[in-house]
């Protein structure tokens, strides 16, 4: 078994049993267990295990979603983006989607369900969806993922 596999099993266990609110917190916990890794490695590990940052009540924390649900969510988002999204732009830590009038709630719901890493949440108007991005990621990366889903 490689060090990467062992570390990722530990990350999975930590995410399942602790309230991990930031990558810095996870990095400290990993260091306490003998895994001195970079933030980039932590991002890759979280993505590899399917962990996303979700709001659970008032606390934003990393959770591991069921891979089948993630695939379904991504598939639904792909269809929705292809059908309804007119443009995707970034500003600061926001991704902004322009959609036809009345479609924003539908699109926002599909973004929320897709489990995209770095997405903290969405706000839907009539023809615009604002997507709040975690400060650990660049909004352009998330925008590219939404466009290429």
* Three-state secondary-structure class, residue 131: strand
* Three-state secondary-structure class, residue 92: coil
> Measured in whole angstroms, how far is the alpha carbon of residue 100 from the centre of its chain?
25
Please report, for the domain that includes residue 127, its CATH number: 3.30.1360.40
Dist. CA 133–CA 53, nearest whole Å: 10
Dist. CA 128–CA 83, nearest whole Å: 15
Q: Which domain-ending residue is among 34, 64, 94?
A: 64
pLDDT tens, residue by residue, 22-51: 999 999 999 999 999 998 899 888 888 878
pLDDT value for 63: 79
- If you search the block for the tokens 């659970």, which residue do you land on? 56
Divide the 149 residues of the chain into consecutive groups of 10 and give the mean pLDDT of each group. Answer: 83 88 93 92 86 73 74 86 95 94 95 82 96 84 84
* Three-state secondary-structure class, residue 70: helix
Q: What is the pTM of this model?
A: 0.60
Task: Please state the φ and ψ torsions of residue 15, each to the nearest 5 degrees.
Answer: -65, -35
Dist. CA 80–CA 106, nearest whole Å: 8
DSSP one-letter code for 127 = S
pLDDT value for 1: 55
Nearest by Cα to 111 from 93, 124, 102: 124
- Note whether 139 and 114 are same-domain residues: yes
Q: Give the total number of structural domains in the chain.
A: 2
Structural domain span for residue 14:
3-64
Alpha helices in the chain, H assignment, sequence order:
3-17, 23-32, 39-49, 67-84, 104-114, 139-148
Please report, for the domain that includes residue 56, its CATH number: 1.10.10.10
């Amino acid at each position: 078994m490689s060090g990467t596999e062992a570390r990722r099993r530990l990350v999975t266990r930590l995410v399942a049993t602790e309230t991990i609110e930031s990558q810095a917190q996870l990095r400290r916990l990993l260091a306490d267990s003998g895994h001195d890794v970079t933030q980039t490695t932590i991002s890759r590990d979280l993505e590899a295990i399917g962990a996303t940052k979700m709001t659970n009540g008032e606390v934003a924390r990393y959770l591991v979603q069921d891979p089948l649900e993630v695939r379904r969510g991504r598939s639904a988002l792909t269809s929705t983006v292809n059908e309804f999204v007119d443009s995707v732009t970034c500003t600061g830590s926001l991704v902004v989607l322009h959609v036809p009038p009345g479609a924003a709630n539908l699109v926002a719901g599909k973004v929320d369900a897709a489990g995209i890493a770095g997405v903290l949440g969405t706000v839907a108007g009539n023809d615009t969806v604002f997507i709040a991005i975690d400060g650990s990621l660049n909004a352009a990366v998330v925008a590219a993922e939404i466009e290429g889903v």
